[in-house]
Amino acid sequence: MENLYTKDQGQTKLVKAKPETIRFLLSYSKSLNITEVDGLQFESNLN
Amino acid sequence: MVVQVEDSQLVKQYIQGDERAIEALINRHNSRLTGFIYSKVGDRELTEDIFQDTFMKVIRTLKRGAYNEEGKFLPWVMRIAHNLVIDHFRKHNRMPMYNSKESYNIFSLLGDDKLNAEKQLIKEQIDSDLLRMIKELPEDQQEVLEMRIYKDMSFKEISDNTDVSINTALGRMRYALINLRKLVEANNIVLTN
């Protein structure tokens, strides 16, 4: 019977963002601080 | 029984300062969003970058209190990702790039399907050999073969045109091919390009 399956196994892998990307986002979230002064918002990153 | 907290509830918790809520949201939609971005850009690294930029934007918007609770969370995140994909292609002034892989090769679309000079000569030789052998077949078989192969007629059309039944037309075609094979063997002709 004709082989209908791709040899490129990578195509069937579940696509997900890497754990280091998730870690970066969580650190970014924790470090991000929004301060509001006179109706103006200021972003700061506290590392 | 595990009760799944709604996205809207997690968003509310995050806005109130619960950092674990954003982790839950990212993990919940990781696969779906990554797949969505990857389907547009077709590149793993770029997908990772756009995924990261998307959630950075989500985090900033939520922390600034600018998130509109009326809409659903996931479609909103998808829209941000979609806009970032468009920004990327605008910045690079090009359309989505396709990588050359075993399963997909751009040159198979762009390739020149004309035969080169050598193959053209071989094809002409095969055509003339075949024509010579067809002429050696009985006339009724020649007629069916010509209608089927060269005129691309169906056996129904052949049967209507030759005033014979479909079975007879099929039989003539079968004998025409059997006889052609015999002629090929008898004349030691190679019919491959």
> Which of B4, B5, B13, B3 has the alpha carbon at shortest distance from B67?
B13
Domain ranges (residues) in chain A: 17-46
Q: Are residues B173 and B125 in the same domain?
A: yes
Cβ(B33)–Cβ(B78) under 8 Å? yes
* CATH number reported for the structural domain that contains residue B83 in this entry: 1.10.1740.10
Residue A13 has pLDDT above 80, yes or no: no
Q: Are residues B78 and B155 in the same domain?
A: no
Q: Single out the residue in B28, B61, B92 at which a domain terminates.
A: B92
Of the candidates B19, B34, B102, which has its C-beta nearest A30's C-beta? B19
**Three-class secondary structure assignment of chain A:** CCCCCCCCHHHHCCCCCCHHHHHHHHHHHHHEEEEEECCEEEEEECC
Q: Single out the residue in B57, B92, B127 at which a domain terminates.
A: B92
- A34 backbone dihedrals φ, ψ, rounded to 5°: -110, 125
Q: pTM higher than 0.80, yes or no?
A: no
Q: Return the residue of A nearest to B30 by Cα.
A: A16
**By residue range, what is the domain housing residue B44?**
7-92
pLDDT digits (tens, 9 = 90+) for B93-119: 665 555 555 555 555 555 555 667 777
Which residue is it, tokens 């920004």?
B87
CA atoms within 13 A on the CB side of B188: 0
Report the residue of A12, A29, A34 to disrupt the B interface, i.e. the one with the largest count of B CBs within 10 Å: A29
Query: What is the least distance, in Å, from the CA of A17 to any CA of chain B?
Result: 6
Q: Which of B80-84, B106-110, B168-172 has the lowest mean pLDDT?
A: B106-110
Report the residue of A14, A21, A24 to disrupt the B interface, i.e. the one with the largest count of B CBs within 10 Å: A21
Which residues, 6 or more positions from B151, have their beta carbon under 8 angstroms from its beta carbon? none
Inter-chain residue contact A25 with B35, CB threshold 8 Å = no
How many structural domains does chain B have?
Answer: 2
* CATH number reported for the structural domain that contains residue B150 in this entry: 1.10.10.10
Q: Are residues B86 and B48 in the same domain?
A: yes
